[in-house]
């Protein structure tokens, strides 16, 4: 059975605009990253949106949750901006899908040579195959239940909290 990979944007996919000197979104790097990881899983990639997660609204989260419900796959990885990743995880958890859903992101854009993205993607694709149905966040080696994690805005680090 294939794994579904939903792309929503986030730091993962930010590009550098060399004329204007700022970051923006173009196409996703996820397919290239699966190639670089020589990924031997059957992964179906679909881009749902390409936004900074600070710009996501509740309707965006509902759309993501609905897509998770509608696809045939029971194992779903979502690449997502880190700032509101926990919020989207909650919306999906509340949809009570009975599927394994893992959200992941990156602190550094993939387009930079030194991104953590490939490490995080390897973790997310591994976690989604092993974990029981539920909604999880994997970042920087750690695996969190959706309701026991927050992003520390000062340090940028995902931390465990009491549920």
Q: How far is CA 135 from CA 102, 111, 113, in A?
A: 6, 28, 30
Of residues 64, 88, 138, 146, which one binds a copy of itself by CB under 8 A? 138
Half-sphere exposure of 9 (CA within 13 A, CB side): 18
26 binds a copy of itself (CB under 8 A): no
Of residues 56, 121, 135, 149, which one binds a copy of itself by CB under 8 A? 121
C-alpha closest to that of 65 among 150, 147, 8: 8
Which positions ≥6 away from 36 have C-beta within 8 Å? Answer: 118
Question: Cβ distance 78 to 89 under 8 Å?
Answer: no
CB of 80 to a copy of itself, least distance (A): 14
CB of 77 to a copy of itself, least distance (A): 10
122 binds a copy of itself (CB under 8 A): yes
What element of type H or E holds 44? strand 43-51
**Which CB atom, from 37 or from 90, has the smaller least distance to a copy of itself?**
37
115 binds a copy of itself (CB under 8 A): yes
**Which CB atom, from 18 or from 70, has the smaller least distance to a copy of itself?**
18
Question: Cβ distance 76 to 68 under 8 Å?
Answer: yes
Stretch that binds a copy of itself, among 56-64, 65-73, 92-100, 130-138 (CB under 8 A): 130-138
Burial, 122: exposed, middle or buried (Cβ in 10 Å; 0-12, 13-18, 19+)?
A: middle
Of residues 31, 41, 63, 93, which one binds a copy of itself by CB under 8 A? 41
40 binds a copy of itself (CB under 8 A): yes
Site of interaction with a copy of itself (CB under 8 A): 11, 16, 18-19, 21-23, 33-34, 36-41, 43, 52, 107-109, 111-116, 118-127, 129-131, 138-143, 153-158
């Amino acid at each position: 059975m294939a794994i579904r990979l939903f792309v929503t944007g986030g730091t993962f996919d930010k590009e550098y605009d060399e004329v204007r000197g700022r970051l923006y979104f173009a196409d996703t790097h996820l397919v290239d990253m699966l190639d670089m990881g020589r990924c031997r899983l059957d992964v179906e990639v679909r881009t749902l949106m390409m936004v900074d997660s600070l710009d996501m609204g509740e309707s965006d989260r509902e759309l993501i949750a609905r897509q998770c419900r509608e696809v045939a796959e029971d194992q779903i990885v979502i690449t997502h901006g880190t700032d509101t990743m926990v919020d989207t995880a909650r919306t999906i958890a509340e949809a009570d899908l009975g599927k394994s859903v893992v959200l992941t992101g990156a602190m550094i854009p993939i387009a930079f040579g030194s991104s953590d993205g490939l490490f995080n993607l390897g973790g997310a694709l591994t976690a989604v195959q092993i974990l029981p149905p539920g909604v999880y966040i994997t970042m920087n080696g750690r695996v969190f239940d959706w309701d026991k994690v927050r992003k520390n805005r000062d340090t940028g680090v995902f931390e465990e909290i009491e549920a």
